[in-house]
Amino acid sequence: VPQRSRRLTAAPLDQRAVRRHNLALVLGRLVADGASSRATLAAETGLNKTTVSSLVADLIHWGLVVESDVLNPGSVGRPATAVKVNGEGVVGIGLEINIDYLAVIAVDLLGRQRERVLVAVDNRGRSPARVLSHLTRLATGVLDGVLGQGLVPVGATLAVPGLVDVGRGELMVSPNLGWTRTRLASMLRKRLAAYDLAVLVDNEANLAALAELWSGTGQRVANFLYVSGEVGIGAGVVLNGELLRGAHGFAGELGHVTVDPDGALCTCGSRGCLEAYVGLEALLRSAALAFTEGPGTVTQDDWIPALLERAESDARVAAGLFEVGRWLGIAVAGVANVVDPQAVVLGGFFAPLAEWLRESMCVELSQRWLPAPFTGIEVVASPLGPDAAVRGAAMLSVREILADPATLDTLIEVS
Half-sphere CA count of 134, side-chain side, radius 13 A: 19
Strand, helix or coil at 323?
Answer: helix
Is there a contact between 290 and 118 (Cβ–Cβ < 8 Å)? Answer: no
Residues forming beta bridges with residue 174, ordered by sequence position: 179
**Residue 132 DSSP symbol:** H
Residue 170: its H or E element:
strand 170-174
Query: Residue 28 CB, nearest distance to a copy of itself (Å)?
Result: 23
Quote the CA–CA distance of 28 and 25 in Å, as a whole number.
5
Query: Residue 254 CB, nearest distance to a copy of itself (Å)?
Result: 6
Query: Residue 225 CB, nearest distance to a copy of itself (Å)?
Result: 8
Sheet with 224-229, edge to edge strand ranges: 242-243, 233-239, 224-229, 343-348, 378-381
For a copy of itself, which is the closer residue by CB, 29 or 368? 368
Query: Residue 389 CB, nearest distance to a copy of itself (Å)?
Result: 18
Query: Residue 202 CB, nearest distance to a copy of itself (Å)?
Result: 14
Nearest to 98 by CA among 190, 12, 171, 23: 171
Quote the CA–CA distance of 142 and 148 in Å, as a whole number.
10
For a copy of itself, which is the closer residue by CB, 56 or 225? 225
Nearest to 387 by CA among 55, 112, 177: 112
For a copy of itself, which is the closer residue by CB, 154 or 377? 377
Quote the CA–CA distance of 322 and 8 in Å, as a whole number.
60
For a copy of itself, which is the closer residue by CB, 104 or 163? 163
Chain residues binding a copy of itself by CB under 8 A are 163, 172-173, 175, 222-223, 235, 237, 239, 244-254, 256-261, 268-271, 273, 330-331, 333-335, 337-342, 367-371, 373-375
CB atoms within 10 A of CB 43: 13
- In terms of residues, how long is the chain? 415
For a copy of itself, which is the closer residue by CB, 211 or 273? 273
Query: Residue 107 CB, nearest distance to a copy of itself (Å)?
Result: 28
For a copy of itself, which is the closer residue by CB, 339 or 414? 339
For a copy of itself, which is the closer residue by CB, 86 or 174? 174
Query: Residue 358 CB, nearest distance to a copy of itself (Å)?
Result: 19
Nearest to 274 by CA among 235, 317, 327, 342: 327
Quote the CA–CA distance of 92 and 397 in Å, as a whole number.
5
For a copy of itself, which is the closer residue by CB, 120 or 239? 239
For a copy of itself, which is the closer residue by CB, 251 or 289? 251
Query: Residue 102 CB, nearest distance to a copy of itself (Å)?
Result: 24
Q: Backbone phi, then psi, for 196, in 5-degree steps?
A: 50, 55
Residues forming beta bridges with residue 96, ordered by sequence position: 103, 159
For a copy of itself, which is the closer residue by CB, 69 or 242? 242
For a copy of itself, which is the closer residue by CB, 27 or 237? 237
Query: Residue 249 CB, nearest distance to a copy of itself (Å)?
Result: 7
DSSP string covering 260-286, please? STT--B-TTS-BSBTHHHHSHHHHHHH
Given phi > 0 = left and psi -120 to 50 = alpha, else beta, which region is 174? beta
Cα dihedral value 119, 125, 131, 134, nearest 10: -50
